[in-house]
Structure 1
């Protein structure tokens, strides 16, 4: 039982804590994205322009949500891994976000233009359910392990290989993983 708790503690510290925070920021960003998308599609900001169409509305709504999410993720979710080169970090974030946007747009395009599902409900399902789910997995993995990965924060984290060696050694020695996690955290705090 101690081994399972140790594994859960290790996973919480390395991935799950970030996933929960990422989810909270993402839910707020999702509300911004879906709300703005629907306001544009319904013509609240005027009609007969590119941004009232499905693709234009999605580009605008996702772009606004991307900026909000960057601020939330930089200053809350991954704050311990912020880099001093803010411009480069933001550009990498935007590249990953555009990848997520393209995944959502592809889902919307296939549904709206290829399959002919043109209702507002079909557009929302394609863009804000299927596309968003696939794009979210893509973005989380690249944000966590590339944009704000441990290797990108000089001097703050132990080498991933070193951490894996310690976890394997503790497992083979039947030592509690909590002790290993505490030791790693202490060393990282001292750096």
Structure 2
């Protein structure tokens, strides 16, 4: 779990740093900047997990296919964060910046991290002997 966390922190730093640079000096719009920084963060996280955390757990298949599944798991995690913000902001009427931060970066990030850990372990870097279940 520690390796997963380290890869995630490196990915977060790459995502945030690139986003800030693309929004600032590069002058890109926020959605393009976030899309590119999200892709970079996913690539850093995949590389860290493939070469570090799960280096012994490769079950076969191409790295490109693994990355595609990894990317899909991360998109699902991002959707969980967005859903938490939407429920809080639009459903519950909690519209302050603080409420958006708590729902997206707090509750949403916690739920998304659980989903990403499970998805990475069971769908991306599973081994032949490991079942694809919560207990696997």
How many pairs were matched up?
Answer: 127
Equivalent residue, structure 1, for 2:84: 107
Q: Which structure is larger by alpha-carbon Rg, 1 or 2?
A: 1
CA distance 1:160–1:28, shift in 2 (3 Å): closer
RMSD between aligned residues: 2.8
Indicate which of 44, 54, 63 corresponds to 2:39.
63
TM-score by length of structure 1 reads 0.55
Indicate which of 119, 123, 126 corresponds to 1:149.
126
Give the Cα–Cα distance (whole angstroms) in 1 for the partners of residues 86 and 68 of structure 2.
Answer: 26
Give the Cα–Cα distance (whole angstroms) in 1 for the partners of residues 122 and 108 of structure 2.
Answer: 21
Q: Which runs of 5+ in 1 are unaligned?
A: 1-18, 152-158, 162-191
Matching of residues 99-178 of structure 1 within 5 Å: 99-114=76-91, 115-119=93-97, 121-151=98-128, 159-160=129-130
Q: Which runs of 5+ in 2 are unaligned?
A: 132-136
Q: Per residue, is there more helix in 1 or in 2?
A: 1
TM-score by length of structure 2 reads 0.73
